[in-house]
Amino acid sequence: MNARFLKFLALLILLVVSSTSNLPVVEAGFGITPPYVRNSSLTRNSTYEQQILLVRSDTSIPQKAEITVDAPEILEWIQIVEGDEIKMPVGVQKVPMTVRVSVPDDADFSEYEGSIRIRTLPDGDDLAAGAVSISLGALVDIKLSVIDRQIRDFRIRQISVPDLNEGTKAAWLFFPGKIRFDMLLENTGNIDISPSEVEFRIFDRTGKVLLEETSNLGKIDTVEPYGTDTITAEIPTRLPQGTYIARYKIYNDDEVKQEGDLTLNILPDGSVQVAGFGFAGLSVAHKVSVLLPIFAFMIALIYLVHSLRSNKSRRRK
């Protein structure tokens, strides 16, 4: 290397050092997400949980988070599930903190506020001697409302439809294919809820020709207040194997909460190891054709038993 190159290298290093020297050299960092516990539709006796992640930037030292609830009015309602001190071991960058709000049955219908103060400390007594060390923390904002009315509402966060088998015929009975329409539902109200109806309009592949209109059979599982869960609507289809465009609508009573298009793949019977519809999926005519003979037989049986008993009693007399 010649002298000119060495000069250039030195200049470059000088430039780099000078350009970065203005950046803050960060010692430690702490944060929380989300920084709040909020619910505006609590009811008496309800329980609401909010998970808050405690995050830090330096995972090389063990730390602990000290938690102090500052909410005099509702102190008894609030519980930190993990306890008032949460360990943050070496190597762990984030830990959950669960705030559980349990509304008592005599709570006033009102708005409540407060905060949760979190501060981090070395998990031990290691502090630099002869200095004022800095402990970082964050404040969780609490805003709660207890109300005296039921809110029945939800939000669909995701939907999916796995492939399904086409319907099958057994003797004269046609058992339709079963569309399993999965919905990730977030209950944004304060009572158990599920969609009141899921409606499918199934079109051909081009989306131009309507082939079938159908809706869910049976009840759909409910989701608890403030919870998010996957529920499934079971929808019969009599279409043969093929690919279709389905336009769905998810109802909350009369309100359409979600609608959209999706691709529906119906496979030959037996392709998917999922049970299809049983008796419930039969058409009304087919149901009648099964039930009527059974009822007739039962009536005949009852009549026969009744006749035999009558004859016996007559003979005794």
Q: Which residues contribute to the site for another protein (CB under 8 A)?
A: 23-36, 53, 55-57, 93-94, 117-119, 121-122, 125, 127-139, 141, 156-159, 184, 205-206, 208, 228, 243, 258, 260-263
CB of 181 to another protein, least distance (A): 11
Nearest to 182 by CA among 241, 248, 242: 248
Q: Which is nearer to another protein, 139 or 147 (CB)?
A: 139
Tell me the sheet residues that pair with 118.
67, 138
CA 195, CA 211: separation in Å to the nearest integer?
A: 24
Residue 203, φ and ψ in degrees, nearest 5: -110, 165
Q: Which is nearer to another protein, 267 or 290 (CB)?
A: 267
> Do residues 105 and 54 lie in contact, with contact meaning Cβ atoms separated by under 8 Å?
no
Which residues, including other chains, have CB under 8 Å from residue 271's CB and lie 6 or more apart?
Answer: 163, 165
Within 161-237, residue ranges assigned H as helices are: none
Which residues, including other chains, have CB under 8 Å from residue 14's CB and lie 6 or more apart?
Answer: none
CB of 43 to another protein, least distance (A): 23
CB of 83 to another protein, least distance (A): 17
CB of 270 to another protein, least distance (A): 16
Q: Which is nearer to another protein, 247 or 286 (CB)?
A: 247
Q: Which is nearer to another protein, 61 or 290 (CB)?
A: 61
Question: CA distances (Å), 211 to each of 131, 202, 246, 247, 261, in order?
Answer: 78, 6, 10, 11, 15
Q: Which is nearer to another protein, 221 or 261 (CB)?
A: 261
CB of 30 to another protein, least distance (A): 7
CA 194, CA 107: separation in Å to the nearest integer?
A: 27
Q: Which is nearer to another protein, 157 or 306 (CB)?
A: 157
Q: Which is nearer to another protein, 157 or 309 (CB)?
A: 157
CB of 228 to another protein, least distance (A): 7
The tokens describing 286, both together, are 């087919």
CB of 118 to another protein, least distance (A): 7
| DSSP assignment of 286-307 | HHHHHHHHHHHHHHHHHHHHHH
Q: How many alpha carbons fall within 13 Å on the CB side of residue 141?
A: 7
